[in-house]
Structure 1
Amino acid sequence: MTDISVVHWRLPAVVSPDADYPVVADVDVLVVGGGAAGVAAAVVAAEAGKSVLLVEKYGFAGGAAVAGMSGTVCGMYLATETGTSPEQVVWGFTERFRQGLSKRGGLTRPQRYGKTWTSAHDPLVWRETADDLLAAAGVRVLFHTSVVGVVMEGDEYRGAVLSSNAGVGVVRAARTVDASGDAAVVARAGGRYVFGDDGRIQNPTMFFRLGGVDVEAFLDGYGEDTISPPWVTERIKEARALGADLPRQKIWIFTTPRPGELMVNATRLTGADGRMLNVIDPADFTEAEVGGRRQVRAYADFLIETMPGCAGGFVVDTGVEAGVRQTRSVVGVETLSNEAVVTGRKDSSGIVRSPWPIELHDGDRPKLHWLIDDYYEVPYLTLVPEAGENVIVAGRCLSAQHEALASARVTAQCFEYGHAAGVATVLSLDEGTPYRRLDGARVRSAMTQNGSAL
C-alpha cells in the first residue's frame, strides 16, 4: 500500500462498542456517503423495511455528480462504431433515478460522446430527486455530518463515530455500507486499500458551467460530439503556446437542461511542480481547488474568445469541490481486473453491466479504450472487503485494478453498486449471513427482480 503524501495523517480510528459517546442512533443499516451509490443503497434497504441512517458531509446528496459537478449520467449505453442511436444496457435503480431526473426536466437527451452517449443533468434537480426518494423510503438523513471513527468489536463493524457542529456521537448499526467514495469507513477501521497503480491515481478536474451561450451557434461550430473536434484542440495548443493556462488539449463540452448553458470538462489539475495530486490529503485537495478555479477562468476566457456562440458567455459556477476520479480502492474478496474489462468478461455473480470505456485521465489528454458493442460485468465480491464483517462498500472505492476502475467508476454503475449493496444488506440481515458468504448469484437475481438488466 502506498500512502503517498498522506502518511502524516493518522489512521485507523477505532473505538469499542462501550466507548463513552452519546448514541445518536441505533439502526439496522448505516450508509456513509450520499452520492449515487449511497442513495441507492439507502433507498433499497429502507424500502425492504430496514431502519436506515444516511450520513453525508455536505448539505445535499449527490457526491461527485453534484458536489464535483461531474454532471453526466455516464455508463448507460453501448459504444458502437456503426449505430446511430443509443442502446441502453443498464437499468434497475439507475433507470429509476434517470426517470426521476427526466420527469423534473433535469436531464438532457443522450448526447454523443465519441463512440457512445451520455446525458447531462441539472445538479439542483439531482439533489431534489434524491431528497424525494430518500424521504419516500423513510431513510433518516443527517447532512453536515462526517465519520471520524469506526465502532469495532473484534473484526465486526458495529457502527461509526460521527462528528458535526453539534459535537461527537456514535451510531450503532448492524450493517454498514461504505459509500463514501474514499473508503473512509474501511480505512479508519484499518482495512487494506490501495491508491491506483502503485500510488499513481487519475488526476482531479474542476468542472464549470458557462452561461449566456447561443447554444445553436455553438453546436454549429463545435459539432454534435461532446468530445472536442481537432480544430479546437489545435486552437488550445496555439493559445497555450502564447502563455494561456490550458494544460489539457482534448476537452469535453455538454449542453445542459438549462437554456443558454454549457457544462465544460476541460481542466487538468496537478501540483505546481507537476506532481500528481492525491486529494485524500487536504493540502493536495486545497491546491487542486485553487488551481482549478484559476484554470476555469483560463478555459472560460478561451471559449468566450474562440468558440462560436460564446462571445457573451460567463462562468455560472464551478463544482463545490474539484471533481474526484480516484482515491482509495479497498482490497476486496475479489478484484475487478484490467483484463476482465478489456475482454468484456461476464460473471454469474455480476451485479452490473458496464459498457463505459477505460477513460484514463493522466497526461495532457484523456486516454480512451472503447468496448465496442459489448460490456463486462462487475462481480459482487468486489464490494466486500477482504477482512472485517458487517461492512460492504459501494461506489468508486470498490476493489478494482487501476485501468479497470477508470471504466467502472462512473455514475450509472455507481447507482447499481449501491443497489447491490442494499440488496445484499437486506439478505444478510434477514438470514444472518455475512456479506462474504452470500451467493452473488442471489444478489444478482434479486436485482433483476428490481428491474436491473442482468
Structure 2
Amino acid sequence: MDVKSWKTVCRFEEQPDLPVLDSVDVLVIGGGAAGVAAAETAGRSGKNTWLVEKYGFCGGAAVAGLSGTICGIFIATDDKNAKPKQVVFGFTERFRQALAAKGGVTGPQIYGKTFTVTHDPLVWREVADDILEQANVTTLFHTAVTGVIMDNDTFKGVVIESNAGQSIILAKMIVDASGDAALIARAGMGYFFGDNGRIQNPTMFFRVGGIDMERYLDYYGNDTICPAKVTESILAANASGEFDLPRHKIWMFPTTRPNELMVNATRLAGQDGRMLNVIDPKDFTEAEIFGRRQVRDYTKFLTQFVPGCENAYVVDTGVEVGIRQTRSIVGVETLTNEDVLNCRKRSDSICRTPWPIELHSGNKPKLHWLLDDYYDVPYNTLVPIVGENIIVAGRCLSAEHEALASARVTAQCFEYGHAAGVAVVKAIDENTPIRDLDVASIRTTMINNGSAL
C-alpha cells in the first residue's frame, strides 16, 4: 500500500450530500493524552468542543497501547541520592493528581537516571471521562474520520463514520491529535516518516500478575530498567535454543495493583526483518499477531529465569501495539536533534522536556540522558507549514528523528494538547490565524493554568 495516497479530500463548495451532525467551535480528533488535554482546555474555556475517538475510551497509546507510564515529568541526574525533581506541571500535573485521587497512579519509580510513574489504564479512562464531562465536551466514541472538508488550504470540517453511517462535523478550529497526523495527511499536506523513512519499532506492552513482589524486587532491584544479569539470562535463554527473544534490555514496572508488573520487553519487526510502519494495516496486523506471541515467550522467560515470577501469568496486553512513531508534520518550525542535545531554551516554549533520547531501533534501546537539565519545545512545531484552522498535538509534532524519540512521551503530549487548546480558543476569540497568534499570550495563559515555562 502506498500510504501517502490514503486520503479523502472534499472541497467545501462541493461537500458530500451527507447530514451535518453539528457546527462546532473546536473539533479534536483523537482522545489520547494530547487530545484529552486540548478538548478539556477548549471546553473549560466555554467553547462548544467535540472530541472524536475511534475506540470506546480515551487514552491512545497510554491506554490502548498500554504504555502505562507518565514519562517526562522529572529531571535526570547522576546523583544516586537525588529525590525526584519535577519540572513539568500544568495539565500534566492536574491529570496526575486526578489519577492519584482515584488510586490510579504510583509514586515515582527509578528509571535509570530519572523517575517515572505507572498508572492504571482503567482509571486513566475514567479520569478522562470525568474531566471531559466537567468541561462540557461532547465525546463521540467508536467514530472514525474518513475525510476532510477543505476550502483551499483551510480546514472547514471532517467526514466521520460510525455504525450510524456517515455524517459531517463542521468546525471553526480543528486539533489533529490523532498521533499520526491523520488529517494533515488526508488533506495532502506535508509530513515525513522519521529519518528518511526509518522510524522506531512498535512494541506490545503487557501486564503480568502472580508476582511475589518481595522476592522479585530483591533480585531485580528498584530500577525499572533491567540489571545486567537479566540481560545475561535472556542471552543464555536464546543460546539454549528454547527461546528467541529479540530484545535483550527490558523494562518492568510495579503497578498500582498488588503483585502485578507492567512489562516493556517486546521488539517488533517484520518476519522478513523489515521495519514495520503501522500506518500500513498489513504491517499493523503483523505487529499485533507476533507481538502477542512475543508476550507469551517473554512471560515464559520470566517464569523460568526471574525469581518471584515463577507463577507469573499474562493479565492483558495492549488493545493495540504501542506506537512510538509514524508521521511527523512539516511544521513552521522543527525541533532539531541539536536542540535536544544542547538543552536549548526558548522564549516561545510551550513545554519543558527532560526525558532522554529513547530510541527504539535494533536489539538494544538507545538512551542519551539529559542530565540536570531540559530543553524547550517551541509553539510552532505544532503548526503545519501549510494549512489554516488546524494545529496538531501529540507525537506527530514537527521534530527530527532523535529529537522525537525524546519529545513524544506522555507528560509532554499532555502539555502539547494544553497549548493547542489554548491556541484554538485564542484564534477564535481574537479572529486570528493560529500561525499568527502571540505566543507570549499563549504562554501566559498556560502559566496561569499551572504550567512551568
- Aligned residue number for residue 387 of structure 2: 388
CA distance in 1, matches of 2:33, 2:6: 28
Deviations 1:387-444 (A, max 9, x none): 0100000000000000000000000000000000000011100001101101222211
Matched, 1:37 2:42: no
Q: Secondary structure in 1 aligned to 2:270?
A: coil
Amino acid at match of 2:360: H
- Aligned residue number for residue 305 of structure 1: 304
Output aligned runs, 1:101-180, within 5 Å: 101-180=99-178
Deviations 1:204-249 (A, max 9, x none): 0000000011111101100000000000000001111223121000
- Any conservation in 1 of the 2:204–2:322 contact (CA below 8 Å)? yes
- Any conservation in 2 of the 1:349–1:439 contact (CA below 8 Å)? no
- Aligned residue number for residue 96 of structure 2: 98
- Aligned residue number for residue 290 of structure 2: 291
CA distance in 2, matches of 1:379, 1:124: 32
CA distance in 1, matches of 2:292, 2:122: 21
CA distance in 2, matches of 1:56, 1:15: 24
CA distance in 2, matches of 1:403, 1:368: 10
Matched, 1:338 2:334: no
Deviations 1:19-56 (A, max 9, x none): 31111121000000000000000000011110001000
Matched, 1:10 2:6: yes
CA distance in 2, matches of 1:127, 1:245: 35
- Aligned residue number for residue 276 of structure 2: 277
- Aligned residue number for residue 21 of structure 1: 18
Residue 14 of structure 1, CA deviation = 3.1
Q: Secondary structure in 2 aligned to 1:371?
A: coil
- Any conservation in 2 of the 1:12–1:187 contact (CA below 8 Å)? no
CA distance in 1, matches of 2:91, 2:417: 9
Output aligned runs, 1:170-319, within 5 Å: 170-243=168-241, 244-319=243-318
CA distance in 1, matches of 2:343, 2:3: 37
- Of residues 432-441 and 346-355 in structure 1, the stretch that sits farther from structure 2 once superposed is 432-441
CA distance in 1, matches of 2:239, 2:215: 27
CA distance in 2, matches of 1:383, 1:7: 22
Residue 70 of structure 1, CA deviation = 0.4
CA separation of 1:152/1:8 partners in 2, compared to 1, >3 Å: closer, same or farther? closer
- Of residues 407-416 and 209-218 in structure 1, the stretch that sits farther from structure 2 once superposed is 209-218
CA distance in 2, matches of 1:7, 1:362: 22
- Any conservation in 2 of the 1:75–1:413 contact (CA below 8 Å)? yes
Residue 305 of structure 1, CA deviation = 1.0
CA distance in 1, matches of 2:9, 2:231: 47
Q: Secondary structure in 2 aligned to 1:119?
A: strand
Deviations 1:171-217 (A, max 9, x none): 00000000000001111011110000000000000000000111111
- Aligned residue number for residue 358 of structure 1: 357
- Any conservation in 1 of the 2:177–2:393 contact (CA below 8 Å)? yes
Residue 84 of structure 1, CA deviation = 2.2
- Any conservation in 2 of the 1:349–1:380 contact (CA below 8 Å)? yes
Structure 1: gaps (5+ residues): none
Choose the corresponding residue for 2:59, options 62, 65, 79: 62
- Any conservation in 1 of the 2:3–2:280 contact (CA below 8 Å)? no
- Aligned residue number for residue 321 of structure 1: 320
Same amino acid, percent of matched pairs: 65
Residue 8 of structure 1, CA deviation = 7.9
Q: Secondary structure in 1 aligned to 2:66?
A: coil
Structure 2 length as normaliser, TM-score? 0.98
- Any conservation in 2 of the 1:79–1:355 contact (CA below 8 Å)? yes
Deviations 1:92-128 (A, max 9, x none): 0000000011110010111000000000000000000
- Aligned residue number for residue 377 of structure 1: 376
Choose the corresponding residue for 2:45, options 28, 39, 48: 48
Output aligned runs, 1:430-445, within 5 Å: 430-445=429-444
- Any conservation in 1 of the 2:145–2:158 contact (CA below 8 Å)? yes
CA distance in 1, matches of 2:418, 2:3: 34
- Any conservation in 1 of the 2:4–2:185 contact (CA below 8 Å)? no
Runs of 4+ residues deviating >4 angstroms: none
Amino acid at match of 2:397: L
CA distance in 1, matches of 2:273, 2:205: 20
- Any conservation in 1 of the 2:205–2:317 contact (CA below 8 Å)? yes
- Any conservation in 2 of the 1:350–1:441 contact (CA below 8 Å)? no
Residue 10 of structure 1, CA deviation = 2.8
The size of the alignment, in residue pairs, is 450
Structure 1 length as normaliser, TM-score? 0.98
Cα RMSD of the aligned pairs, angstroms, is 1.0
Structure 2: gaps (5+ residues): none
Amino acid at match of 2:9: A
CA distance in 2, matches of 1:355, 1:442: 24
Residue 9 of structure 1, CA deviation = 5.0
